Structure 1
């Protein structure tokens, strides 16, 4: 209705222009009409409204009448437009789609009574074109051509098998995946080359023997009903290997392998028969819309898929799960959902096909675009299973040993699987784009936008995973190449060796790169759907400005952390002191803060902006000084020789020689106390190894002192009793002595605690 009003408005404007021109050409007309007292009311429109009648009416009208008619018409159009609201595009599209879908089904049901008669007319047209004798002759010639082509196929396949010069492995021999794929690939290539020879021979002989009228029938017959089912059988044998369970790529038993192979061929045959029957009827005078026989054949294809999915549900679940020993929750969920996924794809494709038919968009359906699309959608999850199997053989070997290396290797394997899945989705999307001839540039359609959206997301995700893969490999190499002593080996006092600078910075770099990738490709993906991203960028700028003003402390923490990392003040694994008695090993670093793990267990979270001074106890090297108290009469030179001997022995010990930077040696007499003299020794070692070395030095000093007759000085309490013989002490004297000694010991202990 809106377009009709627009057309009427334009027509009135044209009439106005014509009237104005006529008034200028005939001056005095208006005055004459006015003076004659003609009425200004617009006359009635002539019936019928022809161009000649309009010109005659305009010739009789005055200027006021023309102006009044135009204003009345414009007012009516304006009122109509002001009361009309634009319909919701999505609701309108859904309504139109439902109308097209329902009309397709309704028409097919209504045409059931004429289906048999229409098919009879098509068959009658076939025999009237070729005649009974001509049809029999054509079938005889086709049989001869097929026989010759089949013989040529066998000869080519046998010759190619000789050229391969690779004996097939016996069923009892143990083969890895590579050998299995080689065997199946050789057999598949041999079959494909044979089928290619079959196709070429039939094509060449058909052109030589058959007439053009006969080729129009024979070519689709051979293609859809013979060659395509045989091609499907070759593909099914490659994937399922029903006769060679030892060479089977998918986890399925012999019964279901044979069942699926047979029904895949039957499904392709039914789909080919559908296309052939529709083309056959159109060729001999019965249009597809007259009988709608294609609807019933096409629906039978989808019903066939649903039956296969329901009957082989257990086998399909096993194929999706593969031979994974410990499947994840995601893998189990996907395997259980695959049969229902196949049913959903069949139902959705049936709806799409009938909707296109209801809209009279059947051009691409005649080439089987819906069947090709459905094939790739159904095969994609199975290809995912093959990707998981191939990944186990394509992932690089594990770097180093231990839990860190194992975790990195497992993360790399998962990244390979995810990258393979995304590439698979992108390839399937591109194939579907080519099937439906969707152009990503110069074409505005939902399909083109959707394909471009999927491709953008796929490229972004691959970049995301490649960044994680590269960083994880570098982290694994750095971490496994460094000694990371356990907390028990460091005596529970912290101060272990830190990781390299890369292991500290790379996780933060990875987080920043991944966030950038997500933001950039999210904007590109949203833009590919036709959504203007300029308001999003403006909103992000305003939000960033608001955060900058409202979270100055957060900004301060982030900036301080950046400068701490630039200065390389600390690394993950290093033992640091940030003041206020807060010490610990750097356990985790983020963009705002880092966590310190105290050697007794507590974890401190320290924002970067609160750090005034940071002391690092684990950077490059550490010097440890050990004190030993010996009696006053001990020879210091003798102790010095013992320390030197211990240092030399530990430098030659394979367990400790790589940890020393300077050997253990004596520093002479350091101090005197009330029980003896203090002799100090020192050594320089790599951070984190000093406690293990100290423990070993203590053990060796004790053993060598015992061997040399040197005792460690210890505190004693002596009670002097003048003019008394110890042998003639009374019990009261002994009690007094014990009480005095106890009091002295208690006083020394109190002083020691202070």
Structure 2
């Protein structure tokens, strides 16, 4: 209900607002036209007096000579004042040598714009300054009874025409109500569109027809006739536009609406239609009446420009409002993933929503600037350039699709091969994607150049010039260099992946040296490519190379320890003294090797401590797990035990351990009994040795000791505690002196 009431008020206000604006304009311009005619008569009389003075001037030889000198001086001033016009006129002569670009013509065309605007503003200010004089002229005009009679006749004709229109409106009002569409079918609404529009416009058409015949039958003032006809012609088209959109949008009743808009959108568009219709009607009334009234063309252009400047501002506001609504509608849907990729392209819609307001605003301002400065050629170029730009973009899109389909058709692997070799497609298409993107970039660059040429940017002249050719050749050389660098890097990466394919089976030397060599190749290739690119760009690379040499020399002197680390690391890697996973003794530190680098070796000992040892500090490397290991077993027994029996027991235990399914696979050879190794203070030591797999020697030794202890316990073989026998010695004469011991304790 609120919408209906609002639209009812808007409908009533349309005619009221139009009457408030247009009828005062009509009255003022009619009065002003009469004053302009009086002013023209005065100007004609003054011109007659000047002609008589010129005749007298030409009869006097002295005055005639002075007059000729003044004319020559004026001619020289005219030549200097119109330098821009001469320059513009001289442009077609240059076309014999080369085609004048539109952008050059446009710049020359706008050179004199400021001067013309200033002249038009000055003329307009002079016209406004004549307002008191015009008032006196109007008063003098109406003081003439004949003029009053003509004016009254004009008003009578106007009143009669309006009366005829009102009668017509009253007669057809009932028929118009009968044509109200009650059906919701679109075809019915379209069929009734033209009869409804015709009945709406009949009263306004009757005003024009009546005025035409009344002015023929009862002529009054020709200028007044023209002004009135202009006003009601504009009013007719104004009402035609409003009634057309009122029927199409039907803001007050959605049942009558032809266009598929919601109530809110229909009312929104209706408000903007009213705004544009009002300002358009005001513009045409003022400009056409100024033309009919015979106002100076400069003043007409100035006022016309002031009125036209309102249109782009209003259109910009309308475009920005539409863009904001579109962003609010589509951007949340894209963020939530609601759009269907088959129905709405994921990239085209966001780009269009983001950039169409900018392009549209630029177009609007270009069109109205051409209108303001009366630059008719600009419309043709703008229209043709737009069409060609659209054609180029369509062609670009077509070629993009063809390119994509060709790549998919000729380079796609079928599903059977994909399932059999899962990683084959990624390998074969790795560089095809680069080629595909390069083709697309080339198409975009060519299209951009064509569009720039269409819009007047001298791309073809630049390309055909010496500088343009040089730039293009250097750009091609840079692209070739970049392609070569990428090819070398990708090839080295492929070699690296191939050499390090089976990580469990490759040596530590390969693990370390291959990445280092590949990285060095990439760095050197990138450096050389960068030097070549800088040289193609015109940059002197000699200072860069000299500076790099000096920096390298300084780094070499300042980092001797680092160089020593690197050299030692290279020898360690080449000789394969140690590998990751070996148990190594480096003098001060020992442990499991976790990393072997060019500068350091990283160890982790039994306690879990992590050691980083610089290669330059390594003097001796003891690798306890290279290829195989040997565990040395020393068994100490009491002096009273039989050494041969102990050796036989050790051989039995060694054979038993080798036959064990858990420990046997780690023993490479039978136990080797080396024999009685030494005599200690309280025991004899018998040594044996077993050859084992790397890093298995310690576990086997512990298992051997466990089993030997069990057998010694079973057979009563003594593993002596450390003890000492004290010998008091014997004197040469007599027995040894007795040793007195005193026992202390509770049970003494």
- What TM-score do the two structures reach when normalised by structure 1? 0.40
Higher Rg of the two aligned structures: 2
- What TM-score do the two structures reach when normalised by structure 2? 0.40
